[in-house]
Amino acid sequence: MAGMKEFNIVLTGVGGQGILLAAEILGTAALKEGLNVRVSEIHGMAQRGGAVVSNVRIGENVLAPTFLDGKADVLLGFEPLETLRNLNLASEKTTIIMSDERITPTELTAKMVDYPSLKKITDKIRSFTKDIIVVEAAKLATEARNILTENVVLIGALAATKKMPIKDESIIEALKELVPTKHLETNIKAFKHGYEYTQKYRPKY
Amino acid sequence: MPDLRLLLQDTPKKRALLLGNEAIARGILEVGIGVVTTYPGTPASEIADSISEIAAEAGVYMEYSINEMVAVEIAAAAANCGVRSLSAMKHVGLNVAADALMTLAYMGVKGGCTIVTADDPECYSSQNEQDNRFYALLANLPCLEPSNAQEAKDMTVSAVEISEKLELPVLLRTTTRVSHTRGPVTYGKLAKPNLKGEFVRDIKRMNLVPANSRPMHTVLLRKVEKAKEISEASPYNTVVRESKGGKFGVISASAAFNYAMEAIDMLSLDAGVLKLGMTHPLPENLIGAFLRKHKKIVVVEELEPYLEMQVKAIAKDYAPNVKIYGKIGKLYFPRDGELSTRAVMIGLAKVTGRKLPINFEEIDEKYAEVLKDLPRRPPILCAGCPHRASFYVIRKATDGKAIYPNDIGCYALGFAPPLSIGDGFLCMGSSVSMAQGINKVTGRDTIGIIGDSTFFHAAIPGLINAVYNNHKITLAVLDNQTTAMTGHQPHPGTGVTGMGVPTEKVLIEKVAEGCGVKYVKVVDPFKVKEATAVLKEALQHPGPSVVVFRSPCALMVVRDRRRKSAKIMVCKITEECTNCMACIKLLGCPALVLVDGKASINEALCIGCGLCASVCPYQAIKCEEVS
């Protein structure tokens, strides 16, 4: 943490994808290391299948729950279109980790328009940053035998980049605290799947 | 926090990552509040929800009251018997409770009494963004405003101390960004809640006939003077940063304080900062001294210029030449929507003439390119939501030609195409009464749309009015057997209390009959034909009619199936599909999507409600169990 003023993570996706739990896991892990942290959440009306954004901010002087445009260190995208929607927070210094799971907005379906290609989406992202990792999160979560662990797959993928000021062990400790015991094993497996995915494959788009 | 029992750990000095609302719940436990009442509403819900989960173990009485007014009255009564109480609600809930609150200020309390109002700048989950600090001014009540989770807990404790010292209820005002931001909270010691009260008859104070009210008003004003002394000495009102040159001073409070501090740092400003945590009554002397120390004062606050107008009044006596910048006269900060570090930076840069260190315009331009063809993703009814079936039935029975005043809850989302049922609402319960006004002057078929919890909260007087004044309207009660929008809290129709205890189930149809409605029927919205026939019949009824569309919330159905590890139902499109798109065009279900130009079902979202199967003209959709 030395010399680091703040570390900003934005998690973005669709209501129901487990974004708030993912943010709480990261925040709890930071707290376990004695760091100051703020985690912003979205509840209620806005959550119902709508766009959801959560920020995790780590750093001694951090007070506000949200941060300035371009100041994201990491953008954790649970859904490609929602990743685009938060690019104002990204700059060339931002690492973007994005799930390839697409959830079609009803507006597109109503207009009888297909979901844009992943290539089109990553091209847009590249105008902000070249540092993109696309994670086949749904597939990896299925391998961990639980579709609901997709959020933890993404956390694993993020941990493997070694960008966060948080140790892997702290994340595992946070998982133990926040995930029900009967699901802990699948969640740890999901974390490892995401971790290894970033380490080994890191596909280029 | 999945396991709320962590709130019950008697481990002083432990640091936990709590939501602002969870921190208030922890404060409740640390100060020994015995009675907690609420009507759920975002962004306040998790305060009482957290207590509900652990109330029995903690020895606290908690209830989901039928509405905010009842919640405040119960808390006020408990406090007047010497038991510490707290009532939590969203900002607009305080409008409902305002009648009680205004006079409670005259009556006062014996045990500490805290009213939490959670305001919603930016309308994340609300119909307006009113600034409830004005209730403190209007009612003459002390007001505390936390800026983070730690303060939310600490101020919950302090509110009780102030309340008991002054014998006045205290407003604890949060905003969405305080209630719904997690931050580190250091625990204090737990206290044992006292639930045993004693009622002492005190006619002059409590029986507020005019002859008693007049002197109690004088008593209240004396209490406000005493409250001022508390505010002057409050550790929550403090200069957190001194300026070297004395040129700029910033006065701020609540969530705005966080943005102000970060913005000052970003601009490398030499500015003194006065942070206010007790914002009614304001510490005049403290503010006056701060004004005198600086040439220019910037008031940074969200929503209305509540602090600014009072600071300006104080300046007239203390420092008439100081220049004050905010929102009165020239707008340096937006008066609508929530603030952000960016908005505060821009405002401060304007006042101070500093250059912004970030080229926002460049970012905006680049970002506009991304937004150009990006589809919106507003909140929508979930896949399998019974309201979708109800709206489909309502549209079918009326050919879309009736007028549909709606109400507050998930079903407010029915206005969106293709269902397009919902023509406007004002507040909780307005559907039933607006229907009467509209029908009276247009003579058109009018169907009020309301949910189950909202029905109990506010529809009953309106319904009796329809009977009494013979308004020929139909009320469709979309009964999904929970308070869905705010997080599935129980209500009088669910047969369970906030303490988790089984209780009498109040049936909406019986209430309607009791109100004098002669046509009352209950339907299953997924039985489209039957439900449509009933609604058509109701519209023919010569007086007011009520149709209850009863089917549980889809999220509860899914949760229940998961818990029981039951098989999951999904719908599948078979080869009979002609790609006519009727399902997509009629229903707008998020599980119905296009894949390579063909109608398909996203099995991860579908819960097999079968509505699409019942509207398919070719019987090409089949629902089946999968493991």
Global ipTM: 0.95
Choice between B373 and A26, residue whose per-residue pLDDT is larger: A26
Residue A106 lies in a domain: yes
Q: Do B45 and A14 touch (CB under 8 A)?
A: no
d(CA B478, CA B387): 7
The yes-or-no verdict on residue B76 having pLDDT over 80 is: yes
Q: In A, which residues are within 8 Å of B340 by CB distance?
A: 64, 66
Query: What is the reported pLDDT for A203?
Result: 54
Residues 6+ positions from B100 with CB-CB distance below 8 Å: B69, B72, B73, B76
Residue A93 lies in a domain: yes
- Number of domains, chain A: 1
The yes-or-no verdict on residue A49 having pLDDT over 90 is: no
Residue A187 lies in a domain: yes
Query: What is the reported pLDDT for B342?
Result: 98
- Judged by CB atoms within 8 Å, which residues 111-150 of B form the interface with A? 124-126, 147-148
How far apart are the CA of A24 and the nearest CA of chain B, in angstroms? 8
CATH number at residue A64: 3.40.920.10
What is the pLDDT averaged over residues B50-75? Answer: 98
Contacts of residues B358-361 at CB distance under 8 Å and 24 or more positions apart, as own/partner, are B358/A68, B358/A69, B358/A70, B358/B266, B360/A69
Reference A11, options A118, A104, A70, A83; nearest CA is A83
CATH number of B4-233: 3.40.50.970, 2.90.10.10, 1.10.287.1770, 3.30.450.20? 3.40.50.970
- The burial class, CB within 10 Å (0-12 / 13-18 / 19+), for A92 is exposed
Residue A204 lies in a domain: no
* The pair of three-digit structure tokens given for residue B9, joined into one six-digit string: 């750990």
Residue A131 lies in a domain: yes
Number of Cβ within a 10 Å radius of residue B200:
11
Digit-coded pLDDT (tens) for B565-619: 777 789 999 999 999 999 999 999 999 999 888 999 998 889 999 999 999 999 9
How far apart are the CA of A55 and the nearest CA of chain B, in angstroms? 9
Reference B118, options B24, B258, B251, B1; nearest CA is B24
DSSP line for B443-454: ---BEEEEEHHH
Digit-coded pLDDT (tens) for B455-481: 999 999 999 999 999 999 999 999 999
Q: Do A28 and B124 touch (CB under 8 A)?
A: no
Query: What is the reported pLDDT for A205?
Result: 47
- Judged by CB atoms within 8 Å, which residues 567-596 of B form the interface with A? 581, 584-585, 588-590, 592-596
Q: Do A24 and B45 touch (CB under 8 A)?
A: no
Query: What is the reported pLDDT for A38?
Result: 98
Domain span at A175: 7-199
- Judged by CB atoms within 8 Å, which residues 166-205 of A form the interface with B? 178-180
Query: What is the reported pLDDT for B363?
Result: 96
CATH 3.40.50.970 domain range(s) in chain B: 4-233, 386-558
CATH 3.40.50.920 domain range(s) in chain B: 238-363
Q: In A, which residues are within 8 Å of B259 by CB distance?
A: 64
What is the pLDDT averaged over residues A97-104? Answer: 93
With an 8 Å Cβ cutoff, is B482 touching chain A? Answer: no
Query: What is the reported pLDDT for A2?
Result: 42
Q: In B, which residues are within 8 Å of A139 by CB distance?
A: none
CB B498 within 8 Å of CB B70: no
Query: What is the reported pLDDT for B627?
Result: 65
Q: Do A105 and B381 touch (CB under 8 A)?
A: no
Fold of B567-626: Alpha-Beta Plaits (3.30.70)
Beta-carbon-side half-sphere exposure of residue A44 (alpha carbons within 13 Å): 22
Query: What is the reported pLDDT for B526?
Result: 98
Residue A205 lies in a domain: no
In the A/B pair of chains, how many CB contacts fall below 8 A? 188
Calculated CA dihedral for residues B196, B201, B205, B206, nearest 10 degrees: 80
Q: Do B177 and A40 touch (CB under 8 A)?
A: yes
How large a percentage of chain B has pLDDT more than 70? 100
Q: In one letter, which amino acid is B185?
A: V
Least confident of B286-290, B351-355, B604-608: B604-608
Q: In A, which residues are within 8 Å of B265 by CB distance?
A: 61
How far apart are the CA of A110 and the nearest CA of chain B, in angstroms? 7
Write the class of the CATH domain B238-363: alpha beta
Q: What are phi and psi of B184, to 5 degrees?
A: -70, 135
When the pLDDT of each residue in chain B is averaged and rounded to a whole number, the result is 97
Q: Sorting pLDDT into bands at 50, 70 and 90, what band is A3?
A: very low
CB B496 within 8 Å of CB B502: yes
With an 8 Å Cβ cutoff, is A28 touching chain B? Answer: yes
Q: Do A61 and B1 touch (CB under 8 A)?
A: no
What is the pLDDT averaged over residues A126-131? Answer: 95
With an 8 Å Cβ cutoff, is A126 touching chain B? Answer: no
Number of Cβ within a 10 Å radius of residue B574:
11
The yes-or-no verdict on residue A202 having pLDDT over 70 is: no
Digit-coded pLDDT (tens) for B110-146: 999 999 999 999 999 999 999 999 999 999 999 999 9
d(CA A102, CA A14): 10
Digit-coded pLDDT (tens) for A137-192: 877 777 766 767 889 999 999 999 999 999 999 999 999 999 999 889 999 999 99
Which CATH superfamily includes the segment(s) B386-558? Thiamin diphosphate (ThDP)-binding fold, Pyr/PP domains (3.40.50.970)
The yes-or-no verdict on residue B270 having pLDDT over 70 is: yes
What is the pLDDT averaged over residues B213-226? Answer: 98
CATH 3.30.70.20 domain range(s) in chain B: 567-626
Digit-coded pLDDT (tens) for A50-76: 999 999 999 999 999 999 999 999 999
- Residue of chain B whose Cα is closest to the Cα of A58: B183
Residue A121 lies in a domain: yes
In terms of average pLDDT, the best of B2-6, B76-80, B592-596 is: B76-80
